[in-house]
């Protein structure tokens, strides 16, 4: 039987576009539900007041600050470590068994469920290194979780920089380090930033690993060794223990909005980089 090629084309186009709309639709539905349910309870008091009665009343100020500290601290550890590994693998070593082993290790790390990281962080950082349930334990655990994403995306971004640009830099008398910092990294920066954004997203929404290592104290963390409760953990506890669904949705809304804000900020930085290095 001969099938009309025009019909096939339009059928494929329609079904593909349907899939795309469906995906976006689900995303909008989730965000929409959180917006509708959360927005009545979102106000300045909620953002800047301490929680009362286990979170039934009051705000989530310590959780916002705790989340911020945790993410910044994790990035502080994970970015140099991940970027350094990626630079080593791409610029400072040749493909060998050793690099394959590192790469395999990185990929395996990416596949481990977060609760396992949590358990490891609990045993190693909290107990063995006696850091207790603290910002530091949480951040170090999240660092290990973020590393695979940062390393992989940074590696891909660095590899995508044409070899010829490196040769130009060398021919002008640059060392390998100068070439890496002045030519390779600026060109790879948008890709590297994307990886960092993805890992922030993972850290900010993490619950299992964070409960195990940073705990769930409702106090405002003021030192590296203080326990604290991130927004994601707060949301989880509010919803799981039936404390207050209203406050839970409002917390989720703040979480979603902050991820959105981070993405807009990153997009802005990326645009600036692209306009400077193109």
Closer to other proteins by CB, 179 or 213: give it: 179
User: Is residue 65 a contact residue for other proteins (CB under 8 A)?
Assistant: no
Per CB under 8 A, does 190 bind other proteins?
Answer: no
Judged by beta carbon, residue 4 or residue 275, the one nearer other proteins is 275
**Nearest-approach distance from CB 97 to other proteins, in angstroms:** 17
Rg (CA), the chain: 23
Q: Choose which of 4, 173, 223, 242 interacts with other proteins (CB under 8 A).
A: 173
Binding other proteins by CB under 8 A: which of 56, 57, 100, 182?
182
Binding-residue total with other proteins (CB under 8 A)? 19
Angle 165-166-168 (CA atoms, 0-180°, nearest 5)?
Answer: 65
Residue 216 CA to chain centroid, in angstroms? 20
**Binding pattern for the stretch 93-132 against other proteins, x by CB under 8 A and - elsewhere:** ----------------------------------------
| Closest CB to other proteins among residues 128, 276 | 276
Identify which range of 9-17, 175-183, 228-236, 263-271 contacts other proteins by CB under 8 A. 175-183
Least distance between other proteins and beta carbon 180 (Å): 13
Question: Which is nearer to other proteins, 182 or 240 (by Cβ)?
Answer: 182
Q: Which residues pair with 52 in a beta bridge?
A: 57
The string of DSSP codes covering 10-77 is HHHHHHHHHHHHHHHHHHHHHHHHHHHHHGGG-SHHHHHSPEEGGGTEE--HHHHHHHHHHHHHHHHH
In the complex, least distance from residue 52 CB atom to other proteins, rounded to whole angstroms? 55
**Burial of 10 from C-beta contacts in 10 A (0-12 / 13-18 / 19+):** exposed
d(CA 244, CA 189): 42
Q: Which alpha helices (DSSP H) does 160-242 contain, by range?
A: 163-171, 176-179, 185-204, 208-214, 231-240
Cβ-based nearer residue to other proteins, 182 or 272: 182
Exactly one of 165, 245, 260, 261 binds other proteins (CB under 8 A); that residue is 165
From the list 29, 72, 168, 260, which residue makes contact with other proteins (rule: CB under 8 A)? 168
Instruction: Scan for tokens 């106000």, then name that residue.
Output: 43
The span from the CA of 72 to the CA of 25, in Å, is: 32
Contact residues toward other proteins (CB under 8 A) are 164-165, 167-175, 178, 182-183, 186-187, 276-278
């Amino acid at each position: 039987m001969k099938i009309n090629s025009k019909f096939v084309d339009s059928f494929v186009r329609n079904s593909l576009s349907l899939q795309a709309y469906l995906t976006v639709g689900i995303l909008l539905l989730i965000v929409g539900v959180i917006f509708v349910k959360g927005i009545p309870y979102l106000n300045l008091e909620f953002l800047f007041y301490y929680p009362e009665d286990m979170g039934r009343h009051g705000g989530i100020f310590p959780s916002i600050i705790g989340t911020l500290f945790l993410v910044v601290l994790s990035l502080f550890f994970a970015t140099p470590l991940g970027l350094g590994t990626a630079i080593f693998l791409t610029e400072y070593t040749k493909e060998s068994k050793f690099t394959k082993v590192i790469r395999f290790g990185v990929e395996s790390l990416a596949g481990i469920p977060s609760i396992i990281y949590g358990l490891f962080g609990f045993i190693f950082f909290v107990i063995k290194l006696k850091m207790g349930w603290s910002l530091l334990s949480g951040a170090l655990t999240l660092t290990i979780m973020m590393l695979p994403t940062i390393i992989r995306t940074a590696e891909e971004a660095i590899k995508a920089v044409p070899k010829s640009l490196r040769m130009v830099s060398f021919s002008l008398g640059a060392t390998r380090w100068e070439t890496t910092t002045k030519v390779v990294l600026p060109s790879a920066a948008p890709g590297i930033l994307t990886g960092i954004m993805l890992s922030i997203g993972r850290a900010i929404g993490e619950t299992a690993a964070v409960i195990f290592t940073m705990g769930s104290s409702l106090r405002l963390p003021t030192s590296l060794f203080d326990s604290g409760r991130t927004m994601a953990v707060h949301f989880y506890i509010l919803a799981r223990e039936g404390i207050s669904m209203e406050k839970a949705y409002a917390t989720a809304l703040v979480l979603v909005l902050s991820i959105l804000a981070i993405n807009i900020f990153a997009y802005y930085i990326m645009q600036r980089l692209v306009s400077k290095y193109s």
